[in-house]
Amino acid sequence: MIIPIRCFSCGKPIAHLWESYVERVNKGEDRKKVMDELGLQRYCCRSVFLGHVDLIDTAAQFKKF
């Protein structure tokens, strides 16, 4: 849906890193390199970034009940 504010497992705040991550990955940079440089050291935080799909644009077009 939307990037979680913190890592589920360790609690590190990560949401503010998402947009620069997406921008750099879309430019063709290696995901490993980008995550290393953003300071995502543990595999828990990395998995949040690797597994996340931003669905909010699609979901927002539907009505909420």
> Between 3 and 42, how does the x/- string for binding to another protein read (CB under 8 A)?
x-xx---xxxx-xx-xx-------------------x---
Distance CA 30, CA 45 (A): 17
Structure tokens, 56: 């909010």
Among another protein, Zn ion, none, partner that 45 touches (CB below 5 to 8 angstroms by kind): Zn ion
> Helices 18-26 and 31-38 sit at what angle, rounded to 10 degrees?
150
CB atoms within 10 A of CB 43: 11
Binds 59: which of another protein, Zn ion, none (CB < 5-8 Å by kind): another protein
Residues near Zn ion (CB under 5 A): 7, 9-10, 12, 42, 44-45
